[in-house]
Amino acid sequence: PGDSYGVLPWPCRALVLLNPQSGTGRALEDFQAVVQPMLAEADIATTVFITERPHHAHEKVRDEDLSQWDTLVVMAGDGLLYEVVNGLMERPDWEETMKKPLCILPGGSGNALAASINHYAGNDHVAKKKLLTNCTFILCKGLHTQMDLVSLSTASGKRLFSFLGFGWGFISDVDIDSEKYRWLGNARFTLGTLQCLAKLRVYQGPPGALPTDSLLVPPCQPVPAHWTVVPEEEFVSVYAIYQSHLGTNLLMAPAAQLHDGCIHLFYLKAGISRVALLKIFLAMARGTHLDLNCPHLRYVPVRAFRLEPRAATGIMTVDGEVLVWLSAGSRGPTGSSHIPFP
């Protein structure tokens, strides 16, 4: 409610950032076979930029004049969109540039945002080529709307922006190193997908400066008194998600919306059996995991949170990409919050 919808100009000029190594390495082929003909019919002219290495798209959108494009389209996995979002946020004119609609077309192995948008659009759950077709169709219609971005700060002083989720422990380990979780069978992570056309939120703030984060206090200070503290416990996993899907087949936060100002925080406490864990993952295919009433699984919708690991172990991920959170001599909390509403 209250969100504004926009429509792309017609005819429309799109810059397509494509990672040829995404997923099974078929992004370019799929783009030419499925996407290109649909966009041509919709009068969307494309310029395709094929990434040659990690960080290539980040540099491209950070350094170049983007005024000739009406939309930036990412044909890849969530990882490439993460690069694009953070590259855009490094521009001195980020505030203006972030008004440009972004679109994700599922071309990777991790297409969670695409799956989420397909879900928000009211489409049936689909994967692969069908998901790509649905997402391309949304782009052809030219409809766009706002999407929340989450601001993330590490104790070592890094500031990042995230559109999908932050994870620590089990889920991130599976995402990055799924081989050791073969026993999960089909429920093993296939981080997934789609897309849509989403305009990122526009933030208040002095031009040039990054948006201020009014919810997080510096890592050296205790959290504000009105915050809820979950005292020292052992966690199997902590996952904060802001979209409905964690993967094409994982409906983790059924209540999530693109622009709800909410971080859906899940954590699994130690002591959970493998059978219970497996049941949770199987139930996630339909988004019914909370109905299991598993005493080890907790769900809290929050506006901000801070994670203070007691030991320097575990992979942390942001939007499915590994977050390097341990720099020499730095140890401390990692915090995440929604940037203040405009």
List 320, 323, 325, 333, residue binding Mg ion (CB under 5 A) = 320
Rounded to a whole number of angstroms, the minimum distance from the CB of residue 55 to Mg ion is 14
How many residues in the shown chain lie near Mg ion by CB under 5 A?
4
Stretch that binds Mg ion, among 154-162, 168-176, 279-287, 316-324 (CB under 5 A): 316-324
Nearest CB to Mg ion, comparing residues 83 and 213 = 83
Q: Per-residue b/e over 191-214, b at no fewer than 16 CB within 10 Å?
A: bbbbbbbbbbbebeeeeeebbebe
Which does residue 80 bind out of Mg ion, ligand ADP, none, counting CB within 5 to 8 angstroms by kind? Answer: ligand ADP
Which residue, 17 or 339, is less far from ligand ADP as judged by CB?
17
Min separation Cβ 24 and ligand ADP, Å: 8
Put the strands of the sheet holding 12-18 in their side by side order: 5-7, 143-147, 197-200, 102-106, 71-76, 12-18, 44-50
Binding partner selected for residue 310 from ligand ADP, Mg ion, none, CB under the kind-specific 5 to 8 Å limit: none
The only residue of 23, 77, 219, 333 in contact with Mg ion, by rule CB under 5 A: 77
The residue with its CB nearest to Mg ion is 79
Shortest gap between Cβ of 30 and ligand ADP (angstroms)?
13
**Contact in structure between 21 and 77 (CB atoms under 8 Å):** no
> Which residue in 104, 253, 90 sits closest to 166, CA to CA?
253
Tell me the backbone φ, ψ of residue 259, rounded to 5 degrees.
Answer: -140, 55
- Nearest approach in angstroms of CB 114 to ligand ADP is 10
Interface positions with ligand ADP (CB under 6 A): 19-23, 51-54, 56, 76-80, 83, 108-110, 321
By CB under 5 A, is residue 287 in contact with Mg ion?
Answer: no
Nearer to ligand ADP, 107 or 309 (CB): 107
Among 110, 165, 192, 335, binds Mg ion (CB under 5 A): 110
* 78 in active site: yes
Least distance in Å: CB of 55 to ligand ADP?
6
> Which one from 78, 175, 213, 319 is the annotated catalytic residue?
78
CB of 21 to ligand ADP, least distance (A): 4
If one asks whether residue 247 binds Mg ion (CB under 5 A), the answer comes out as no
The residues assigned a catalytic role are: 78
Provide the binding-site residues for Mg ion, judged by CB under 5 A: 77, 79, 110, 320
